[in-house]
């Protein structure tokens, strides 16, 4: 009897050890070349002009050249890391003057890129406010915008969105890990050695629990999606133990997928010059390769069934990119029930859903191909009010927990 039990145990251990612990490679109807491309790094420096200085010497900064056109007008040149690229010109830099004065600052883009992000101002890099619309003029070619600014000897921060760099995201993740049911680790490191943060959220054990995967910031400027993700995750942490969700489910969060691109002030790509949300097929880029392998390894070793994958992004307005009815998934009714509950909670008529087939190697398609899960890309508008972003994140998390608890 003992001999039988020994060989039975040996067989089970052998089967488990043969289970692949790396992400499978997948084919898509519309493949994308994500092999590494060259990028142009900006030079970190303080730009000196007559009576005014500008600096890009901090994480997430973007300012490629700075010059003076006349006594009151200055030009800030904003160029992307490489081409071709999504025309979403990110900018962030500091300004200060020898004496207080009013200036005109032209944001000058290149290669057809148009002004997209409403300028934000800060005196400390932490608290931000919108520049008044009366102080912004988008020029007729759409490839530049002129801002009227008040500068002084104090540092004025100017950015496309609130700065949420690797350090700041890490501080938030560390704060979350100080709460019950949350642990912080790294899924690996970026090409330049920055930590790929991972939050594991569950009560007691991670083993034998259905699992939700959450990612954010594949594209560096997409801060509003990150802000929604924060509210979403914080709601799970704050309410998931009370309502029983964390006792039943495991949640794995990767809040900063492209830390190099964020800290380098990129428009869209990583240091490999690639859109990471096109690399969920062959895994040419280290960030995607390490995170996907981490997801597969963790869920395999803990016997987790992945049911849902959410990827938080930003675009021109709020939208949900969802799988259409032709995509087979483990909980086919989740998407409609979730969007319906969000719609009621937010008291809105148009949820702005864009269903589609799995055609390109993006995260949402990969969640389905790798795990059979429902994959959703959760987009937040560039200019969506910040209080509404938080409300949306909170109510979306509550709706998700309610639906999954009923499964």
**pLDDT tens readout for residues 116-147:** 999 999 999 999 999 999 999 998 777 899 99
* Residue 16: pLDDT band with limits 50, 70, 90: very low
Question: What pLDDT shows up at residue 18?
Answer: 59
Distance (Å, whole) CA 62 – CA 40: 12
Which one is the CATH code of 46-159: 2.60.40.3120, 3.20.20.70, 2.70.70.10, 3.30.460.80? Answer: 2.60.40.3120
CA distances from 240 to 116, 237, 337, 375, 405 (A): 37, 6, 19, 21, 10
Q: 349-365: b or e for each residue (b if 16 or more CB lie within 10 Å)?
A: eeeeeeeeebebbbbbb
Same fold, 19-37+164-406 and 46-159: no
State the sign of the Cα–Cα–Cα–Cα dihedral 259, 265, 266, 268. Answer: positive
39 in Cβ contact with 269 (< 8 Å): yes
The CATH fold of domain 19-37+164-406: Aminopeptidase (3.40.630)
Q: Which helix (H) or strand (E) holds 375?
A: strand 374-381
Q: Cα separation of 123 and 397, whole Å?
A: 33
Helix axes 363-371, 286-301, angle to 10 degrees: 30
User: Which strand (E) or helix (H) includes residue 337?
Assistant: helix 334-346
Enclosing H/E stretch for 355: strand 353-356
pLDDT over 70 (residue 156): yes
**pLDDT class of 44 with cuts at 50, 70, 90:** very high
pLDDT digits (tens, 9 = 90+) for 351-378: 999 999 999 999 999 999 999 999 999 9
Q: Are 256 and 263 in contact (CB under 8 A)?
A: no
pLDDT of 342 strictly over 60 = yes
Contact 229, 216 (CB under 8 A): yes
Lowest mean pLDDT across 14-28, 85-99, 138-152, 192-206 = 14-28
Specify the pLDDT at position 407. Answer: 87
Q: Structure tokens of 101?
A: 């004065």
Span 215-242, average pLDDT: 98
The values of phi and psi at residue 239, to 5°, are: -115, -15
Both structure tokens of 187: 């899924």
Strands (E), 280-324: 306-315, 319-323
**What would the 3-class secondary structure string for 105-143 be?**
EEEECCCCCCCCCCCEEECCCCCEEECCHHHEEECCCCC
CA–CA gap between residue 206 and residue 299 (Å, rounded): 9
pLDDT at 7 exceeding the cut of 70: no
Cβ pair 256, 197 in contact under 8 A: yes
Mean pLDDT over the full length of the chain:
95
Residue 10 has what pLDDT?
A: 40
User: Residue 116: its pLDDT value, please?
Assistant: 96
Q: Provide the residue ranges of all domains of the chain, joining segments of one domain with +.
A: 19-37+164-406, 46-159
DSSP secondary-structure letter at 24? P
Of the CA atoms within 13 Å of residue 224, those in its CB half-sphere come to: 24
Phi/psi of residue 250, nearest 5 degrees: -115, 140
- Beta partners for residue 356, in sequence order: 323
E strand or H helix that includes residue 235? helix 223-239
Separation of alpha carbons 321 and 311, rounded Å:
10
DSSP conformation class of 278: G
Q: Estimate the crossing angle of helix 166-177 against helix 223-239, to 10 degrees.
A: 10
Q: pLDDT band for position 395 (50/70/90)? A: very high
Sign of CA dihedral 15, 17, 18, 22: positive
Q: In what order do the strands lie in the sheet with 101-108?
A: 65-68, 73-77, 101-108, 144-151, 136-138
Compute how many other C-beta atoms are within 10 angstroms of the C-beta atom of residue 73.
Answer: 13
Closest CA to 291 of 365, 213, 233: 213
């Amino acid at each position: 009897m003992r001999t039988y039990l020994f060989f039975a145990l040996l067989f089970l251990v052998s089967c488990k050890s043969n289970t692949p612990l790396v992400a499978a490679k997948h084919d898509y109807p519309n493949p994308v070349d994500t092999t590494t491309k060259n990028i142009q790094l900006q030079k970190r420096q303080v730009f000196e002009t007559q009576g005014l200085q500008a600096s890009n010497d901090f994480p997430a900064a973007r300012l490629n050249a700075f010059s003076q056109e006349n006594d009151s007008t200055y030009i800030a040149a904003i160029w992307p890391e490489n081409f071709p690229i999504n025309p979403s010109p990110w900018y962030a830099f500091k300004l200060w003057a020898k004496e207080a004065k009013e200036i005109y600052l032209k944001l000058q883009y290149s290669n057809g890129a148009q002004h997209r992000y409403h300028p934000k101002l800060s005196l400390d890099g932490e608290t931000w406010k919108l520049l008044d619309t009366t102080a912004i003029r988008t020029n007729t070619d759409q490839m530049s915008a002129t801002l009227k600014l008040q500068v002084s000897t104090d540092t004025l921060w100017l950015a496309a969105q609130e700065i949420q760099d690797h350090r700041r995201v890490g501080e938030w993740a560390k704060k979350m890990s100080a709460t019950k049911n949350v642990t912080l680790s790294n899924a690996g490191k970026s090409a330049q050695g920055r930590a790929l943060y991972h939050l594991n959220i569950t009560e007691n054990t991670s083993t034998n629990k259905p699992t939700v995967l959450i990612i954010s910031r594949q594209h560096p400027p997409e801060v509003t999606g990150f802000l929604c993700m924060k509210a979403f995750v914080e709601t799970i942490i704050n309410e998931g133990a009370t309502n029983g969700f964390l006792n039943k489910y495991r949640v794995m969060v990767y809040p900063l997928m492209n830390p190099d691109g964020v800290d380098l002030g990129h428009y869209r790509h990583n240091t490999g010059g690639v859109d990471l949300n096109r690399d969920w097929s062959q895994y040419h880029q280290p960030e995607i390769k390490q995170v996907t392998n981490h997801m597969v390894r963790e869920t395999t070793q803990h016997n987790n069934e992945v049911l849902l994958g959410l990827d938080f992004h930003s675009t021109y307005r709020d939208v949900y990119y969802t799988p259409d009815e032709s995509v087979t998934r483990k909980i086919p009714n989740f998407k409609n029930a979730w969007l319906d509950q969000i719609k009621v909670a937010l008291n809105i008529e148009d949820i702005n859903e864009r269903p589609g087939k799995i055609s390109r190697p993006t995260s949402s398609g990969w969640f389905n191909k790798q795990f059979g899960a429902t994959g959703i890309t959760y987009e937040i508008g560039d200019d969506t009010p910040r209080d509404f972003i938080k409300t949306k994140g909170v109510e979306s998390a509550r709706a998700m927990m309610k639906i999954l608890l009923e499964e």
